[in-house]
Homo-oligomer: A and B are copies of this chain.
Amino acid sequence: MKKVYLDNVSTTRLTVEVRQAMLPYFDENFGNPSCVHEWGDIAKEGIESARNQVAQLIGGTAEEIIFTGSGTESNNFAIKGLALAHQKKGKHIIISAIEHFSVLHSAKTLGKWGFDVSLVPVDKYGLVDPEDVRRRIRKDTILVSIMHANSEVGTIEPIEHISQITKESEVILHTDAIATAGTIPVNVQKLGVDALSLASNQFYGPKGAGALWLRQGVRINPLIDGGVQEDGRRAGTENVPAIIGSGKAAELAYDSMTTRIEHLVNLRDRLLSEIPSTIDHVVITGHPKHRLPGNASFCIEFIEGEAMLMLLNSKGIAITSGSACTSRALKASHVLIAMSIPHAIAQGSLLFGFGIDNSSEDVDYVLEVLPPIVEKLRQMSPLYSKFLKRGK
């Protein structure tokens, strides 16, 4: 059976070059970077080189990169660490309604710790209005966190405008750039943010390797206390091979970004333009223009997304219906709900995430396989037969 992986939103496949870069660090270069001997020095040099590579990807400096164990850890570290470090100034933070659960639930935890959290809404495309951020800033606001792009619907947020507002108010701005760093050009100076989260498994690097970029001079409390690794800001023996891999992946992403984007946009645009002509009642989600290059998300009415996932999987196609971190939880996406997409439609959401390994033949295969699946499921759908009766 043909196998088509179109779930590059959940995780990407390691490129051969990245794996090759990592392998020596599982073998002869296995030392602990904290140790003052040859084995330690080799590991230390490796991670410092990776730090430079990751810094270059986002236009920061190496000293501003703090390696973590995942994008989720980076977000927890940013939200909790920044809030706790600046709570003397105030205890109010602002996030958007469509943040990833690692931001939303970190903010919820802060709520339990006596912080006040305001949610900024989004429009039907999932866009945050910077003026909505401005309206929520108070004297005791210490932190705003708005994601750079939402991986579920692909919408890219106007961080550059939002940062003008947070700068005027002297409020720290964090952005979850897990969906963008390594995929589209990300420059921390241009964005004007103070902190930025990224994860290397989103750009063909390994799992277990996230990073938080933190502007020099911004104070933060560690999430993980202990030794003096990462300048005392994130304790624990560094996951050296994963860090090496994230550095190499960052370098490759930086060097080949334009061609990668072009490739992804072609595949995405073809699918998004042809799907509505092969399937009725399709609602394309996310912004038509400000959109991640590989993201083709839409809802198919009168069908459960999960059922489509299963049948696509039986045909060798892997996609998701939303965030990987909630897939096995089977709930309607809070992102689509925040975009005012009716619950019934939101339940039929599908997310095709293209990656650099995908080809035009993969789109052909989806266009061949999906319509009969939709047809089959609709025949079994009470909602659809009700709709048809009403139509008559």
From A70-78, A250-258, A265-273, give the one contacting chain B: A70-78
B34-A327 in contact (CB<8A): yes
Q: Is the CB of A101 within 8 A of B326?
A: no
Tell me whether A325 and B229 are in contact in the complex, defined as CB-CB below 8 angstroms, given that A37-B309, A70-B69, A236-B73 are known contacts: yes
The reply to whether B101 and A225 form a contact with Cβ atoms under 8 Å apart is yes
A317 to B38, CA, bound (A): 9
Contact B10 A35 (CB under 8 A): yes
- Please determine whether A35 and B19 come into contact, CB atoms closer than 8 angstroms: no
CB-defined contacts of A14 to chain B, threshold 8 Å:
26-27, 30
Chain B residues whose CB sits within 8 angstroms of the CB of A3 once the complex forms: 38
- Cβ of A325 and Cβ of B27 under 8 Å apart? no
Residue interface bits A67-96, CB-to-B below 8 A is 1, else 0? 011111101100000000000000000000
Is B34 touching A7 in the complex (CB atoms < 8 A)? no
**Binding-face segment, A49-57, A154-162, A239-247:** A239-247
Q: Report A1 CB to chain B, min CB distance, Å.
A: 10
Cβ contacts under 8 Å, A108 to chain B:
225
Question: Which residue of chain B has its CB nearest to the CB of A79?
Answer: B225
Can you tell how many copies of this chain the complex includes? Answer: 2
Partner pick for A40 among B32, B37, B109, B327, CB 8 A cutoff: B327
A22-52, CB < 8 A from B = 22, 26-27, 30-32, 34-40
Q: Does A329 contact B (CB under 8 A)?
A: yes
Give which listed residue, B5, B102, B227, B318, contacts A235 with CB less than 8 A.
B102
Given A30-B11, A36-B310, A69-B236, A75–B226 Cβ distance below 8 Å?
yes
B319 and A37 contacting across the interface, CB-CB below 8 Å: yes
Chain B contacts for A26, CB-based, 8 A: 14, 19, 22, 206
Which residues of chain A have a CB within 8 Å of any CB of chain B?
A: 3, 5, 7, 10-14, 19, 22, 26-27, 30-32, 34-40, 68-73, 75-76, 100-102, 105-106, 108-109, 199, 201, 206-208, 210, 221, 223-229, 235-242, 306, 309-310, 312-313, 316-320, 323-329
26 A-B contact pairs sorted by A residue (CB < 8 Å)? A7-B32, A10-B40, A10-B237, A11-B32, A34-B324, A34-B327, A35-B327, A36-B306, A36-B309, A37-B313, A37-B317, A37-B320, A38-B316, A69-B69, A76-B224, A101-B226, A105-B235, A109-B225, A199-B237, A206-B239, A208-B208, A208-B242, A210-B236, A223-B224, A227-B324, A239-B242
